[in-house]
Amino acid sequence: MKIWVDADACPKTVKDLVFRASARLGLPVCIVANRPLALPDSPLITMTQVPTGSDVADAHIVRHVAPGDLVITADIPLAAQVVAKGAVALDPRGEAYTAETVGERLAVRDLMEELRWAGMATGGPAAYGPADRQRFAQALDRLLPRQLS
């Protein structure tokens, strides 16, 4: 099992939690971003820097993810693609995307995007805070032992 992090928009606190889990469980982590990021010195953590562009990091993750891997992303279309390949996706707020849930989340996302384009909905998600970090940590702790068995 490998943990993939769609890192360009991923909060630092989430990456730090993933790095600690990696060290504790001996799991490899691949950070994918379109700019260099500061990473801890660990043989378990690698970084792939992809060119800038729409969905370039997502395409890299989809090409390389394997069944049973865990992908950390807030990008619902990416989550849908990795779930279709047999991986599990977890967003930075602690919501797990599975084959049972990702279709509904993708439909809601598409609806909200249409409403924004029509000027009927504005704004985005609330600022990332301590409660989000805690939900993510709890979800990660629940998912990793399940993925390892």
**CATH code assigned at 125:** 3.40.50
pLDDT tens-place string over residues 92-110: 999 999 887 877 777 776 6
Q: Are 144 and 27 a contacting pair, CB within 8 Å?
A: yes
Q: What is the pTM of this model?
A: 0.86
Q: Domain containing 60: what range?
A: 3-148
Tell me if residue 45 falls in helix, strand or coil. Answer: strand
Report the distance separating Cα 17 and Cα 98, nearest Å: 21
Model pLDDT for residues 41-78, shown as the tens digit of each residue: 999 999 999 999 888 999 999 999 999 999 999 988 89
Which residue has 């049972």 as its token pair?
100
CA angle 138, 141, 143 (to 5 degrees): 105
* Rounded Cα–Cα distance for residues 58 and 123 (Å): 24
Look at the chain and report how many structural domains it folds into. Answer: 1
Transcribe 126-138 into DSSP letters. Answer: PPP-HHHHHHHHH
Task: Say how far residue 104 (Cα) sits from the centre of its chain.
Answer: 17
